[in-house]
Each structure stands twice: as structure tokens, then as C-alpha cells.
Amino acid sequence: AQSVTQPDIHITVSEGASLELRCNYSYGATPYLFWYVQSPGQGLQLLLKYFSGDTLVQGIKGFEAEFKRSQSSFNLRKPSVHWSDAAEYFCAVEPKTSYDKVIFGPGTSLSVIP
Amino acid sequence: ETGVTQSPTHLIKTRGQQVTLRCSSQSGHNTVSWYQQALGQGPQFIFQYYREEENGRGNFPPRFSGLQFPNYSSELNVNALELDDSALYLCASSSFDRVGELFFGEGSRLTVL
């Protein structure tokens, strides 16, 4: 079945530590890939996207993500986390068909310890 | 600030009632998508409107319906409300040729009692 999974429901990191949030997808053809962030009381914001080409993509707020076709993964990373990064992070896909829209994973909640 | 505004921000209804949620899209965007986000879950796709026509629908019953107006604003209507309809309803506007780049409003929090 087609799906987007985020294995980690909740992650806690110390401020200044590195971060990696995992995302796996199951689709016949590699879909378009995205990461969105939802901060408390705010709408979702697009962090970065991958369509094709270079498998390491840079986004806003110092985030990057790496696409690995062999693992069907699109993991989000940040070298040094700030307290303001505490939020809910969603991996999302848009299958490359005419009738499918952006599908979100279940999310990973990030807490940052000062 | 995405330029996408939703109203109302919060509302409480009782089971069986009907609700209308509104969304003003960002300037220059011609597509509006609606999502339902239950507590602790990811957004679930309800439907999308492009040029006033429904352009894709998720796994939601017909009592969830929508409209898009010539100025690209949109409404989500839910009839015969059920307790499980309690959720945050998110509107996202986009340009049809910009794949996956959604600009979200802050949502309408619906509570069904």
C-alpha cells in the first residue's frame, strides 16, 4: 500500500545538538518529497522540497534533507538545533500522477532542552 | 505570514448540525486544498479546488463539500456533524503549476459536542 511513515513519534534533543528526523515512503515511482513544520499556534510551513537531481537539498531555517532511493527515505537534518525549532515536523509526498495530491505523514514532535 | 486567512478560528457545534468554514487564498494562487488534522495526527487531504472545480478528493464522505469562488477564496461545508469531525481544518492555497508548495492558513478548530 502507498504510504508515508515517520518512525519517530517524539524526539527530544538538547539545544546545540544535531538532529535527524526520519521519513520513509512506499510508492511505485519516487514521488515529489517535502518537509513541512508546524509550530504551536501556526500553520504548516514548507521547509524544503525534492523533485529530482542533487539528492541533498537545502531548505529554510538551516535545515537540509537527503533523498536515498535505495532506502526510500528522505531524512531531515540540522547540524545544531535551536530552542525555536521545537515543533511538529511532517514529511509529505505528492505522487507523480494526475489525481493524487500532497499526502502527509503522521508527524514527529520535536522537543528541545535548553 | 502566508497571506492565507481562515475563519472562524474556533467554533463549537453539536452533533447533527452543519458548519461552513471559509478561506481566503494568497494573492496570485488559483488552487485551494482543504485538510483535516485530528489531534496528534498528520493532515488528511479532503479535497482540492482549481478554477472553481473540484480537482481531487480524499477519502471523505459526501457530507463534506466545498466551493471555490471567482476570486479563488473557498468554503468547506460539513453537514450532519459527527463527534469524529472534531479537528483542526486547514486550508492551503497554491499555484497549480508549483507542485506541492502549499501555503497554509492557521486553521479553524472545530469542536463537535
Residue positions counted in chain B:
113
Q: What is the pLDDT of residue A60?
A: 95
**CA-CA distance, A76 to A30, in Å (whole number)?**
17
Of A41, A49, A106, the CB nearest to B41: A106
**CA-CA distance, A26 to B89, in Å (whole number)?**
26
pLDDT in tens, A7-54: 999 999 999 999 999 999 998 888 999 999 999 878 899 999 999 889
Per-residue pLDDT band for B16 (boundaries 50, 70, 90) equals: very high
Q: For residue B72, how many C-alpha atoms fall within 13 Å in the half-sphere facing its CB?
A: 20
Q: Which of residues 59-88 of B touch A (CB under 8 A)?
A: none
> Do A43 and B104 count as a contact with CB atoms less than 8 A apart?
yes
* In the predicted structure, residue B56 carries a pLDDT above the cut 70: yes
Average pLDDT for B45-53:
93
pLDDT in tens, B61-79: 999 999 999 999 999 999 9
Closest C-alpha to B56, from B32, B23, B83: B32
Query: How far does the CA of residue B44 sit from the closest CA of chain A (Å)?
Result: 7
> Do A101 and B106 count as a contact with CB atoms less than 8 A apart?
no
Average pLDDT, chain B: 94
> Do B56 and A99 count as a contact with CB atoms less than 8 A apart?
yes
Q: What is the pLDDT of residue B5?
A: 95
* Chain A interface includes B42 (CB < 8 A): yes
Which three cell numbers mark A90? 511532517
Of B41, B100, B105, the CB nearest to A102: B100
Q: What is the pLDDT of residue A98?
A: 52
**CA-CA distance, A114 to A14, in Å (whole number)?**
6
Kindly provide the residue ranges of all beta strands, DSSP E only, lying in B3-106, ordered along the sequence.
5-7, 10-13, 19-24, 31-37, 44-50, 53-57, 64-68, 74-78, 87-94, 103-104
